[in-house]
Amino acid sequence: MTEKSIVILISGRGSNMEALLRAKLPCRIAAVISNKADAQGLETARAHGIDTAVVSHRDHADRAAFDDALAQVIDHYQPDVVVLAGFMRILTDGFVNRYMGRMINIHPSLLPAYTGVDTHERALRDGVKIHGCTVHFVTPALDGGPVIIQAAVPVLSDDTPQTLSARVLHEEHRIFPQAVRWLCRDQARLDANGRVCIDRIEQLGSTLISPGLD
């Protein structure tokens, strides 16, 4: 199997990008691209000898112009997979369709619950007992693409948005590399009906019940 290449898009510190670097994935990370020149993750990527680029959304008149410029930079690296790792821009339908079936995102909630931002605050406000994170294929529907993998965590009675975020982030760093690994090995894909197919044996895991049973 030919080694696949990925391009990672970030907007900030890039902790999920770092998780991918630590995972020693069966692919080549061709570049890390950010819409912010001061994104901390760019320095991390450079320290690992990875090409970096900045495409600032502020330099373009609208989202479509920014997406066109971003696509040109991405296509220069000819990636097999485009990975959104904390990339905080809403992408146009044209951009999403350009990479349909080979662009994924990680989101800090158990989708389809809590799309968008402030997921931990909203989960706490609603009093849910189980929260988590999701890796999904990107489609034009915001955070609405087919789910590849999810991880759930209990919501504790004394949780704050910060403590809950930290617990969820730990799981993000576990499931994101797994999703990318499946894609790089051609083990995960979209079928003709737009559903996720994963070539692996289903494993029975322990049930998460929160609060626990007496």
Catalytic residue status for 131: no
Distance CA 43, CA 150 (A): 29
- Of 107, 131, 136, 173, the catalytic one is 107
User: Could you tell me which residues are beta bridge partners of residue 54?
Assistant: 34
Residue 56, classed as helix, strand or coil, is coil
Among 179, 7, 26, which residue's Cα sits nearest to residue 87? Answer: 7
- The answer to whether the CB of 4 falls within 8 A of the CB of 184 is yes
Instruction: Name the CA dihedral angle for 160, 8, 2, 177, rounded to a multiple of 10 degrees.
Output: -10
Residue type, 172: E
* Active site positions, annotated: 107
